[in-house]
A and B are shown apart, each in its own frame.
Chain A
């Protein structure tokens, strides 16, 4: 780094370490080992920033001239807050101004002349003049009105105006009423009495232009009756055997269906059928005649005779009709679904082991059963096999024995080798090397030989002379003589406590319980134990933020714990049975479940498992090259015996006499 000197004084306020920093000339940006605060001036910072490629520092802006203030981040201009006192003042002023304005307006209005005040002229003459002026004005107005009236009359405007009094109504007679309909029956109109009929209300935009006359009272009566009927009907409900309706139907009237809903479907209609037309004599006569007829008696009246059919002897045989009705065969449409029948299985039809019984999941293989059966039959062959196996085993044993050498043989061999080697040259022996290295161990062995300190100085000199090599007597029983080294001060082993007081004193001295007169033990050099970068200054907690109040005894990890990258552990989960057999995950889980729940499998399950294990064993014992019966082996043996490449099978053709 180039040597740069600081052109100006450091800007850090009242820092003690400023003087120290000035001494260093390597670079202006070096920190102190004391870890003191350090800050660069703006110029230096700008220089550094230019070197790093950043834009220079922005100096603080003054608030704008127009009095606006920027917020903390320096981004927005904020509106100054409203001054409430000023606001109140302005409001008061406004109110006052308004009041005064209104007062002024009122006073202006009141600026009329009062009775007491007014014209200050000579009273009499002024008044006379005024009164005359008023008169003349009146006259002129009257004249003008008269003129206007004349003009109106001249143009005939008066005719357009409606007449003042309406004319008297012209009386009308019977002929003028011809053709009008009355909405009531003729019966409803009482005889010998006047009934006043009025026009019925009609919509303006109704389709038919016919006017209908009604009497209000009759209408009310009818409505009342109808309502009563309706209420009765409603209370009654649906009448399946409505006698009245039946009667009416028999008489010839149309039978109404669900008459109780008529009101809802066709509400309040003045029936077109009801009523009559004034002046229409013909229809009236017809109507009258019809009613007479009805009163007399209907044309068609269903009459029931009370005569019952003659009682007859019942016939023993059925009629043709009855036969047809009873024994009619109905065609079945579609197929009927037939279930498969569960017939009992006939035991004879199936072989012993091949019956399709749905009892067990596992199929006991026919082969296994056959195996068991066959093994019994082929006894002579298994004997041979057993003999062969025995011989094989013996041979294996010999080979194995030969491989493991016996210890005694080894030792003899070693001794022979040693004798052969002789004293010339350097013999490197494992034991010798081992014992040599023993010579450098600390003073444990010193206590075993209490008289050893006498030998030690001599030995030391010898050793020092020979350098690294040292001879150790392997044959002698004595362990190596070692001297307790002076050690590196504090890290040496403590002197062993001997039998007597001297040892105790030595130990106490070394530990520091006692002090030798005059000689105080030299303290260890301060720099070896002290921390290198420690300074008390760091402990000033000037900031009163949460970091100052944080738990200082925290000695946990300061950085996050990071996992080793690129580490892929090889995971192999192997489960083993109680017997030592490896388990599949499913079986392992089963085993775990048994252990967890404390309940094992049941008897059947256990038997199944045992069977399975036995099966597996058999599978393993089975020869892979041959059939279970050893057919191939038999074939080969037979071939060897007969010394022919073929084998004659026993068959009917062969045995049969030619």
Chain B
């Protein structure tokens, strides 16, 4: 169980608890539930790396406490 902070630099900063074997798509759904946007509108990035939906967090080596950038498409 890890907790990931998602910040879009326009005022939305959420902390989401998830499993390491969750996919990025699941994480997006959790974020969407918390922020109120639609999950298919969310883009998670780290600098220029765009996190793809079908890959697990563990494979992206997203650990507890990491900050992800929240963008919208």
Interface pair A40/B26, CB less than 8 Å apart: no
Q: Which of A116-124, A538-546, A624-632 contacts B (4 or more CB under 8 A)?
A: A538-546
Query: CA separation between A608 and B18, bound complex, in Å?
Result: 81
Interface pair A545/B26, CB less than 8 Å apart: no
Taking CB atoms and an 8 Å cut-off, the chain A residues in 66-114 that contact chain B are: 72-74
Given contacts A38-B15, A54-B26, contact A31 B20 (CB under 8 A): no
Query: CA separation between A57 and B22, bound complex, in Å?
Result: 10
Q: Which residues of A contact B72 (CB under 8 A)?
A: 559
A60 at interface, CB cutoff 8 A: yes
Given contacts A38-B15, A38-B34, A543-B67, contact A74 B20 (CB under 8 A): yes
Interface pair B34/A558, CB less than 8 Å apart: no
- Size category of the A interface is 35 or more
Q: Which residues of A contact B5 (CB under 8 A)?
A: 37
Interface pair B13/A538, CB less than 8 Å apart: yes
Q: Which residues of A contact B34 (CB under 8 A)?
A: 29, 31, 38, 40
Interface pair A52/B33, CB less than 8 Å apart: yes
Residue of B nearest to A41 (CB): B17
Q: Which residues of B contact A535 (CB under 8 A)?
A: 11
Q: Which residues of A contact B11 (CB under 8 A)?
A: 33-35, 533-535, 538
Interface pair A547/B69, CB less than 8 Å apart: yes
Interface pair B1/A57, CB less than 8 Å apart: yes
Most chain B C-beta atoms within 10 Å of own C-beta, residue among A54, A60, A73, A538: A54
Taking CB atoms and an 8 Å cut-off, the chain B residues in 5-53 that contact chain A are: 5, 9-20, 22, 26, 29-30, 33-36, 43, 47
Residue of B nearest to A562 (CB): B73
Chain A nearest CB: distance from B17 CB in Å?
5
Query: CA separation between A51 and B17, bound complex, in Å?
Result: 15
Interface pair A38/B26, CB less than 8 Å apart: no
Taking CB atoms and an 8 Å cut-off, the chain A residues in 16-42 that contact chain B are: 29-31, 33-40, 42
A48 at interface, CB cutoff 8 A: yes
Interface pair A31/B19, CB less than 8 Å apart: no
Interface pair A39/B14, CB less than 8 Å apart: yes
User: Contact partner of A37 among B10, B15, B58, CB < 8 A?
Assistant: B15
User: Contact partner of B15 among A12, A34, A35, A538, CB < 8 A?
Assistant: A12
Chain A nearest CB: distance from B68 CB in Å?
10
Query: CA separation between A305 and B5, bound complex, in Å?
Result: 127
Q: Which residues of B contact A60 (CB under 8 A)?
A: 1
Q: Which residues of B contact A72 (CB under 8 A)?
A: 63
Q: Which residues of A contact B29 (CB under 8 A)?
A: 52, 54
A45 at interface, CB cutoff 8 A: yes
State the majority secondary structure of interface residues on A: loop
Query: CA separation between A60 and B14, bound complex, in Å?
Result: 21
User: Contact partner of B13 among A36, A58, A547, CB < 8 A?
Assistant: A36
Query: CA separation between A533 and B18, bound complex, in Å?
Result: 28
Q: Which residues of B contact A287 (CB under 8 A)?
A: none
- Size category of the B interface is 20 to 34
Residue of A nearest to B23 (CB): A54
Query: CA separation between A188 and B3, bound complex, in Å?
Result: 113
Query: CA separation between A547 and B29, bound complex, in Å?
Result: 24
Q: Which residues of B contact A568 (CB under 8 A)?
A: none
Q: Which residues of B contact A332 (CB under 8 A)?
A: none
Interface pair A37/B69, CB less than 8 Å apart: no
Query: CA separation between A541 and B20, bound complex, in Å?
Result: 26
User: Contact partner of A45 among B9, B30, B36, B58, CB < 8 A?
Assistant: B30
Most chain A C-beta atoms within 10 Å of own C-beta, residue among B15, B17, B18, B72: B17
Query: CA separation between A57 and B19, bound complex, in Å?
Result: 6
Residue of B nearest to A534 (CB): B11
Residue of A nearest to B27 (CB): A54
Taking CB atoms and an 8 Å cut-off, the chain A residues in 428-483 that contact chain B are: none
Interface pair B15/A39, CB less than 8 Å apart: yes
A59 at interface, CB cutoff 8 A: yes
Interface pair A48/B36, CB less than 8 Å apart: no
Query: CA separation between A57 and B30, bound complex, in Å?
Result: 12
Query: CA separation between A38 and B33, bound complex, in Å?
Result: 12
Chain B nearest CB: distance from A559 CB in Å?
6
Contact with B along A413-437 (1 / 0, CB 8 A): 0000000000000000000000000
A49 at interface, CB cutoff 8 A: yes
Q: Which residues of B contact A547 (CB under 8 A)?
A: 47, 67, 69
Interface pair B13/A37, CB less than 8 Å apart: yes
A572 at interface, CB cutoff 8 A: no
Chain A nearest CB: distance from B35 CB in Å?
6
Given contacts A57-B18, A546-B47, contact A533 B10 (CB under 8 A): yes
Interface pair A54/B10, CB less than 8 Å apart: no
Q: Which residues of A contact B67 (CB under 8 A)?
A: 543, 545, 547
Query: CA separation between A70 and B18, bound complex, in Å?
Result: 20
Q: Which residues of A contact B1 (CB under 8 A)?
A: 42, 57-60
Q: Which residues of B contact A558 (CB under 8 A)?
A: 71
Interface pair A31/B36, CB less than 8 Å apart: yes
Chain B nearest CB: distance from A541 CB in Å?
10
Residue of B nearest to A46 (CB): B17
Chain B nearest CB: distance from A497 CB in Å?
44
Query: CA separation between A59 and B20, bound complex, in Å?
Result: 11
Q: Which residues of A contact B13 (CB under 8 A)?
A: 35-38, 538
Q: Which residues of B contact A543 (CB under 8 A)?
A: 67
Sample 18 A-B pairs with CB under 8 A, ordered by A number: A31-B12, A31-B34, A35-B10, A35-B13, A36-B13, A39-B15, A45-B17, A48-B30, A48-B33, A51-B33, A52-B33, A57-B19, A60-B1, A533-B10, A534-B11, A535-B11, A545-B67, A558-B71
Q: Which residues of A contact B (CB under 8 A)?
A: 12, 29-31, 33-40, 42, 45, 48-49, 51-52, 54-55, 57-60, 72-74, 533-535, 538, 543, 545-547, 558-559
Closest 6 CB pairs of A and B: A35-B11, A39-B15, A45-B17, A57-B1, A52-B29, A37-B13
Q: Can you add 5 more A-B contacts, CB < 8 Å, to A30-B36, A59-B1, A543-B67? A: A31-B14, A40-B34, A72-B63, A74-B20, A533-B10
